[in-house]
């Protein structure tokens, strides 16, 4: 299987929107892996992974708490992320995202799941 970086217009818009939200958080890095997935990481732990290549277009996966995952899975467009869903990952296709700002709390939650305690404390002390 050939893996390519995100290159569709819809995929690039998704990456730009998520980048704007994720890079507001302390010590976040962006990385593209060997599969062409773009991820946002803290302490080298991913909390957002995006990719494309399926027939349904680009997708966004986020690490969330299990309780949040259960709640999101009751909504129409969210689904358990293949291979890593049992670790609390949930995904949505870019075409089903009405506003990336609506996902900001979940991106922040994923960050707090992956970040070291010192960064979580730092973030909790900051206004949004």
Q: What confidence tier does 125 reach under pLDDT thresholds 50, 70, 90?
A: confident
pLDDT of amino acid 100: 95
Report the b/e string of 19-57 with b at 16+ CB within 10 A.
bebbeebeebeeeeeeebbbbbbbeeebbbbbbbbeeee
User: Distance of CA 35 to CAs 3, 6, 30, 79, 123, Å?
Assistant: 5, 10, 14, 21, 31
Read off the pLDDT of residues 92-102 as tens digits, 9 standing for 90 and up: 999 999 999 99
All domains of the chain, ordered by start, with CATH? 9-119 (3.90.1150.30)
What mean pLDDT value characterizes the chain? 93
Q: What confidence tier does 63 reach under pLDDT thresholds 50, 70, 90?
A: very high
What pTM, to 2 d.p., does this model score? 0.93
What proportion of the chain, given as a percentage, has pLDDT over 90? Answer: 85
pLDDT of amino acid 128: 64
Read off the pLDDT of residues 26-56 as tens digits, 9 standing for 90 and up: 999 999 998 899 999 999 999 999 999 778 8
Instruction: Kindly report each contact of residues 34-42 with a partner whose C-beta sits within 8 Å and lies 24 or more positions away, as own/partner.
Output: 34/3, 35/3, 36/3, 36/4, 36/5, 36/6, 38/5, 38/6, 40/107, 41/114, 42/111, 42/114, 42/115, 42/116, 42/119
Question: Is 1 a residue whose pLDDT tops 70?
Answer: no
């Amino acid at each position: 299987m050939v893996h390519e970086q995100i290159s569709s217009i819809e995929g690039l818009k998704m990456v730009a929107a998520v980048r704007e939200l994720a890079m507001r958080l302390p010590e976040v890095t962006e990385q593209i892996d060997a599969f062409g997935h773009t991820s946002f990481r803290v302490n080298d732990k991913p909390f957002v992974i995006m990719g494309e290549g399926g027939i349904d277009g680009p997708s966004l996966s986020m690490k969330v708490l299990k309780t949040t995952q259960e709640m999101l899975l009751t909504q129409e467009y969210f689904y358990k992320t293949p291979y890593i869903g049992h670790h609390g990952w949930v995904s949505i296709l870019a075409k089903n995202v009405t506003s990336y700002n609506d996902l900001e709390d979940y991106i922040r939650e994923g960050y707090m799941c992956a970040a070291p305690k010192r960064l979580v404390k730092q973030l909790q002390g900051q206004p949004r």
